[in-house]
Amino acid sequence: MQILYSRCCGIDVHKDSVTACVLVYSGLPEPEVRKREFATHKKSLGNLRLWLFAQKVTHVAMESTGVYWKPVWQALEGNFELTLANPFQVKTLPGCKTDARDSQWIAELLAHGLIRPSFVPPRETRHLRDLTRYRVKLTEERTRIHNRIHKVLEDACLKLDTVASDILGATGRAVIRGILDGIEDPGALAERAKGTLRGKQPQLRLALNGRLTDHHRFLLRELMAELEFLESKIERLSKQIAAQVDVEKVARLCTIPGVDMVTAWTLLAELGTDMGVFSSPKHAASWAGLCPGNHESGGKRLSHRTRKGNRWLRRALCQSAWAASRQKNSFLAAFFYRQAGKHGMRKAIVALAHRILVIAFCLLRDLTEYREVGGDYFDKLHPLRTRNRLVRRLQRLGLRVTLTPGPELPQPPPPPLTNPRKRGRPCKCAERLLPCIHTA
């Protein structure tokens, strides 16, 4: 088998130590093997870097072992060609498994080019990714506090949620502050209603006539203090994220229906700003785990289950897909209901998330903006077929249908445009029923 790298190193990473194995191919039948073990603190990782320099190593590979690979990667970044390997793909053969043997096996695979590198974004994108993921955890904790407050109110027989849609809205917070101030009269609490809820004060008086105790007030006071603390942290994180992202790219992504500012932050943090790391939009969708799996045996498709991908990106895109499915006169909403009729709601959401990711990828790659083609795009795509289908539905109801042409007949969609990135070749967006985004 061909040797691609004559001086390469494989590193087996652990919490307290790393084992490095350097292979030197000098024309002999077997390579020269040089192994050393280092600790994982800063000074030892610096010694590892110096040792690799002394061995004239050009390429280094390591497994993505939890978070323990990150200090090693940061110590070697910028000095060698680094490759991060999926442990499932570089698993050694059973028998005689040691740290030294694992590092040599990784080096052998790297020398022959048999390791598929994992996507590791630049340092700035990794910092942004840490912030967005931490914000997700804080948001989840805020939701848990919200649910605990609801349970305490229910335990006190305060049915605030039967009148107010959000118990932590302006009215809900004013009522809870009144409870913490010692107010027990339902009428006085109902007077704290804000906005449209002031017209529901009779219902509020009935809902707020409960059995409050000092125990409930203590729990509400602790939970509200924790909620305000989390909200202040989320606000500081949002300001820090907004200061680090590209405002122009965020605004471009927000033109997609269902994509808000937080989702745009997640897209930039997980995908990065350089789309050249992915060979195509399909590659990005596969990396995110938003495409059907491929499990075939004996000529039969056994499973279409989606594979595991970037769960942070998949979560954000599925949430955006639910929001886009409720947009009126939107191509994405029409696409969702078209898929839901064939495959069901859950598969349609994943398909719509896949479509949003493809559009976002093209917007970031081509520096264009989303162009809405309307919710009747599929009807205008084949107008005669749409007309015949609707006529048949009415005839099945026992109605006699007479068609009279209107003053203006629906125009067919324009012919496929030219993709400037493909040297004049026809654009395939129309073939995929995707609004063309290759033109500004």
Measure the CA–CA gap between 83 and 63, rounded to whole angstroms: 9
Helix (H) or strand (E) holding 160: none
Kindly tell me the burial class for residue 149, based on how many C-beta atoms sit within 10 Å of its own C-beta (0-12, 13-18, 19 or more): buried
pTM (predicted TM-score):
0.84
What's 367's DSSP letter?
T
Q: Looking at the domain 125-244, which fold is it? A: Helix Hairpins (1.10.287)
> How many Cβ atoms from other residues are within 10 Å of residue 21's Cβ?
23
State residue 413's pLDDT score: 57
SS3 content of the chain, % helix, strand, coil (to 5): 50, 10, 40
Residue 60's φ and ψ, nearest 5 degrees, are: -130, 140
Measure the CA–CA gap between 324 and 327, rounded to whole angstroms: 5
Helix (H) or strand (E) holding 23: strand 17-24
Pick from 23, 94, 17, 86: which is nearest to 52 by CA?
23
Across 319-326, average pLDDT: 95
Residue carrying the six token digits 């895109």: 317
State residue 439's pLDDT score: 44
**For residue 90, pLDDT beyond 90:** no
> How many Cβ atoms from other residues are within 10 Å of residue 412's Cβ?
11
Contacts of 231 (CB under 8 A, 6+ apart): 142
State residue 36's pLDDT score: 94
State residue 381's pLDDT score: 87
What residues does each domain of the chain span? 7-111, 125-244, 247-383+415-422
Across 354-369, average pLDDT: 93
Across 169-193, average pLDDT: 92
State residue 288's pLDDT score: 92
Contacts of 101 (CB under 8 A, 6+ apart): 92
Average pLDDT along the chain: 88
* Helices assigned H by DSSP within 214-293: 214-244, 247-253, 261-271, 281-288
Is residue 61 within 8 A of residue 85, CB to CB? The reply is yes
Is residue 80 within 8 A of residue 58, CB to CB? The reply is yes
252 token code pair: 């471009």
Helix and strand numbers, DSSP H then E, in the chain: 16, 7
pLDDT-based confidence at residue 296 (cuts at 50, 70, 90): confident
Residue 117's φ and ψ, nearest 5 degrees, are: -70, 140
Q: Tens of pLDDT along 370-396?
A: 999 988 888 888 888 989 999 999 999
State residue 410's pLDDT score: 54
* Helices assigned H by DSSP within 163-213: 170-180, 186-190, 201-207
Q: Tens of pLDDT along 305-316?
A: 788 889 999 999
Helix (H) or strand (E) holding 64: none
411 token code pair: 């125009």
State residue 427's pLDDT score: 54
C-alpha distances (whole Å) from 421 to each of 4, 265, 362, 425, 426 are 32, 27, 11, 9, 10
Across 351-365, average pLDDT: 94
Packing angle between helix 311-324 and helix 281-288, nearest 10 degrees?
A: 110
Measure the CA–CA gap between 288 and 354, rounded to whole angstroms: 9
Measure the CA–CA gap between 36 and 63, rounded to whole angstroms: 17
Pick from 393, 385, 430: which is nearest to 410 by CA?
385
Across 316-339, average pLDDT: 94
Instruction: For the chain, give the percent of residues with pLDDT over 90.
Output: 69
**For residue 134, pLDDT beyond 70:** yes
Sign of the C-alpha dihedral computed for residues 92, 96, 101 and 104 taken in this order: negative
58 token code pair: 């050009």
Which CATH code is given to the segment(s) 7-111? 3.30.420.10
> How many Cβ atoms from other residues are within 10 Å of residue 253's Cβ?
26
- Residue 58, Cα to own-chain centre: how many angstroms? 34
Query: Angle 306-311-316 (CA atoms, 0-180°, nearest 5)?
Result: 105
Q: Beta strand pairing status for 295-297 and 300-303?
A: antiparallel
